[in-house]
Amino acid sequence: MFQSMMTPVLILISWTLVMWIWMYATRIPAMQKAGIDAAKMREKSEMDVLPRSVRQIADNYNHLHEQPVLFYALCIYSHLVGVADPLNVALAWGYVALRIAHSLFQAMVNFIPVRFALFLFASICLFAIGVRNLLALFG
């Protein structure tokens, strides 16, 4: 199970759903407290009155729909063409662990230099998977 390239994909998708729940569990009460009627909203900027701690969680949920798309594609590619060797699987798990750490850090602390470091190390894992797939293709 943990040797599959697809298990980290499932875990990151599951984590994204956890962040979705966390986002709405904090956003809806904050909107009610701020008197925001979602049915009457015309601009996203109306959400700027929400506490920063609530917006950080929503920001991270959005971030989980950006770069991880490349991760999903690379993992599926690796799995389908047979480049899901132990190193790529380890890199995939590293990416997932770092993205979960990034989520928790952004949602709870949000100190940009640490967030950037977590993002950078996750990106290195992603680049390594991509380069290894290219090497397998052309090598």
**Contacting residues for 77 by C-beta, under 8 A, at least 6 apart:** 83, 133
pLDDT band at 47 (very low <50, low <70, confident <90, very high): confident
In this predicted structure, the answer to whether residue 1 has a pLDDT above a threshold of 80 is no
pTM score over 0.85? yes
Asked if 16 contacts 69 with a C-beta cutoff of 8 angstroms, the reply is no
For residue 138, the model assigns a pLDDT of 95
The whole-angstrom separation of Cα 76 and Cα 78 is: 5
For residue 37, the model assigns a pLDDT of 87
The whole-angstrom separation of Cα 98 and Cα 108 is: 15
pLDDT digits (tens, 9 = 90+) for 62-82: 999 999 999 999 999 999 999
In this predicted structure, the answer to whether residue 41 has a pLDDT above a threshold of 90 is no
Mean pLDDT of the chain: 95
Q: Within its chain, how far is the Cα of 89 from the centroid? A: 17
| Assigned architecture for domain 6-138 | Up-down Bundle (1.20)
Of 22, 129, 33, whose CA–CA distance to 86 is shortest? 129
The whole-angstrom separation of Cα 110 and Cα 106 is: 4
Question: Which residue intervals of 43-111 are DSSP H helices?
Answer: 52-63, 68-81, 86-108
Query: CA of 116: how far to CAs of 3, 17, 76, 102, in Å?
Result: 28, 23, 26, 9
Residues 49-53 have a mean pLDDT of: 94
Name which residue leads in pLDDT, 91 or 44. Answer: 91
pLDDT band at 39 (very low <50, low <70, confident <90, very high): confident
